[in-house]
Amino acid sequence: MRCSATSRSGSPASRKTASNTDQSLTRGAWRSRRSWLGLLVLVLLLVAADQATKAVAQAYLDRPLLQDPVVIPGVLSLSYHRNPGGPFSWLARYRWSWVLGPLSVAATAAVVWWLVSSQVRSRLEAVVCAVIVGGAVGNIIDRLWLGVVRDFLKLTCIRWPVFNLADTFICLGVGLLLLGLFRADSRAAHTPAPTSEERSAPPG
């Protein structure tokens, strides 16, 4: 006896249920103890790199110099600055820039909560969140320890505020995260909605 195509492949509702189950398993597949340990190591490495470069910049650049050391001619040089404001000297001239410290802590806590919750859908998103957290923690350490953030990277090809590695990590992570969310929304928008027949079909 020949089986029908529906019998061999299952009803549309059962196929949809199986697809949702596979997506749920995929979302939770990276949440192993080894993955969490890897994310923690990544955050610690980024914080260490940020603090180490700031310490070197402070030791060698926090003095009167005839000329800023050039790293890439016409593109990047080194110039040490103590920034009381936000990333890229944002709000540095305002007296109430002290609120940036608590705001930074709150924003970092929000990213960590989003990371440990079920909102993160893949290992790549988790890595991107870890990059953001690593950069944020690097600048928070400066604010708590010194009351300012140490900046030392200066773009000479465009007019841009002096920044540091932590700022780079934050901007890179946020950019990649927004790109991933945009692509996910775009794929969802192009996914055809289930027909009335599929919605009314019994499972199994």
pLDDT value of residue 166: 95
- The percentage of residues in the chain with a pLDDT greater than 70, rounded to a whole number, is 66
Whether residue 53 contacts residue 140, with contact meaning beta carbons closer than 8 Å, is answered with no
Q: Rounded CA gap, 143 and 155, in Å?
A: 23
pLDDT value of residue 189: 62
Name the helix (H) or strand (E) containing 71: strand 70-72
pTM: 0.72
Residue 55 has pLDDT above 90, yes or no: yes
Closest CA to 168 of 12, 20, 53, 4: 53
Catalytic residues: 151, 167
pLDDT value of residue 186: 64
Alpha helix (H) residue ranges in 5-79: 5-9, 12-28, 33-61
Q: Which residue matches tokens 């991933």?
A: 180
Residue 49 has pLDDT above 90, yes or no: yes
76 to 70, 107, 154, 157, 170: CA distances (angstroms): 6, 29, 6, 7, 19
